[in-house]
Amino acid sequence: MRLSKILTVALLFSAACYKPNYSSDEDLGKAFRCYATDRPACPGSLVCCVGALCGDSLIDPVTGGPVKDNSGNPLEGSCVPPRAPEDLSLTPASYWDFGIKGSYWTGAVNDPLLSGKDPDTGKWRCARKLEPNDMPGEEVGLGSQLPIDPNPTPGTAYEICPDESAPDLPDVDVFKFKLPTPTKVMVRITYKVTYGDLDVALFRMAKDDTGVDRPQRVVADLTAVDNGCLEVPNLPAGGPYYVVVRGTNSPEKPSKYSMNLYNIRVYGVSTPAGDSCTAKKDGGV
């Protein structure tokens, strides 16, 4: 009798003490960090995710090792509840594949005041210049002849921010041009990263296995610093080519996309030794 009482007390004591409590709130940056190749990768019923990629999608099917970012580092994910079934409806953010971002802005972020209504006027703060311009057929046209060796200017002002009708849908801006001859092409965007990190990429269309035209990334700048720059030494004649600017998210806050004001310039350079992107510490992408 005495022994049974002791065992009962011990079991009650152990049950009272073992109360695992782990956070899985990735938007608050409190989720456990993980690698999909760990066994197990996450405690309980949680799964290892990086943005929309989860579980085996983070494992390289050839090597069996973890998928790596553009810096060659294994993708580190967050332990989160299983994702809801994927919404297969096409969005601009999923249509333009920028690749895997390897660096993120970790400093303080100021409010660019590009969402919500202005308390004085009652109007939506985002001006949405020349919108929608998110997909082929909606783009801002830059013509079939880019300016060559133009004088430096601030560029044309735009903004990355959502429409009032869909405040949670990430915004992208798309610009299209063609080339009559092979040309060295420069793309420059200027912005302050402390108000929101922006990425810029250049795409061309290529047919997939089903014969459908899909955007193919030529080059991208995914650095988390002020301004962005693309340089293509000898872009073939033809096109169309698409320059795409987007706000970014992060592994810690995958559902939150940055907004910002920016200026853009797209132009040609007549000599290989002409204008060039200033080298960045991480080299861009």
Q: Looking at the chain, how many residues does it have?
A: 285
Q: Please report the pLDDT score of residue 10 as a whole number.
A: 46
Q: Is 194 exposed, middle or buried (0-12, 13-18, 19+ CB in 10 A)?
A: middle
Q: pLDDT tens digits for 27-69?
A: 445 567 888 788 888 888 888 887 667 888 788 777 888 887 7
Q: pLDDT tens digits for 226-256?
A: 999 999 999 999 989 999 999 998 877 787 8
Q: Please report the pLDDT score of residue 28 as a whole number.
A: 43
Q: Please report the pLDDT score of residue 30 as a whole number.
A: 56
* Within-domain flag for 279: no
Q: pLDDT tens digits for 94-116?
A: 899 999 888 899 999 999 999 99
Judgement on whether residues 147 and 214 belong to the same structural domain of the protein? yes
* Within-domain flag for 280: no
Q: Please report the pLDDT score of residue 14 as a whole number.
A: 43
Stretch 6-18: mean pLDDT, rounded?
A: 45
Judgement on whether residues 76 and 110 belong to the same structural domain of the protein? no
Which segment of 9-13, 27-31, 261-265 scores lowest on mean pLDDT? 9-13
Q: pLDDT tens digits for 136-176?
A: 999 999 988 899 999 999 999 999 999 988 888 889 999 99
Judgement on whether residues 24 and 97 belong to the same structural domain of the protein? no
Q: Is 109 helix (H, G, I), strand (E, B) or coil?
A: coil
Sign of the Cα torsion 281, 28, 169, 129 reads: negative
Whole-angstrom CA distances from 201 to 52, 85, 127, 166 are 20, 29, 23, 24
Q: Please report the pLDDT score of residue 182 as a whole number.
A: 94
Whether the Cβ atoms of residue 31 and residue 78 lie closer than 8 Å to each other: yes
Judgement on whether residues 38 and 99 belong to the same structural domain of the protein? no
Q: Please report the pLDDT score of residue 155 as a whole number.
A: 93
Mean pLDDT, all residues of the chain: 83
Higher per-residue confidence, 191 vs 83: 191
Q: Please report the pLDDT score of residue 84 as a whole number.
A: 65
* Within-domain flag for 219: yes
Judgement on whether residues 141 and 98 belong to the same structural domain of the protein? yes
Q: Please report the pLDDT score of residue 173 as a whole number.
A: 96
Q: pLDDT tens digits for 36-47?
A: 788 888 888 888
* Within-domain flag for 129: yes
Q: Please report the pLDDT score of residue 31 as a whole number.
A: 67
Please give the structure tokens belonging to residue 73: 């580092």
Q: Please report the pLDDT score of residue 95 as a whole number.
A: 92
Q: Please report the pLDDT score of residue 233 as a whole number.
A: 93
Is a pLDDT exceeding 50 seen at residue 260?
yes
Number of domains in the chain: 2
Higher per-residue confidence, 274 vs 2: 274
**Enclosing domain of residue 55:** 2-80
Domain boundary among 46, 80, 114: 80
Q: pLDDT tens digits for 192-206?
A: 999 999 999 999 999
* Within-domain flag for 275: no
Q: What is the CATH number for 226? A: 2.60.120.380
DSSP calls for 219-245: EEE--SSSSEEEEEEEEPSEEEEEEEE
Whether the Cβ atoms of residue 101 and residue 248 lie closer than 8 Å to each other: yes
Whether the Cβ atoms of residue 215 and residue 179 lie closer than 8 Å to each other: no
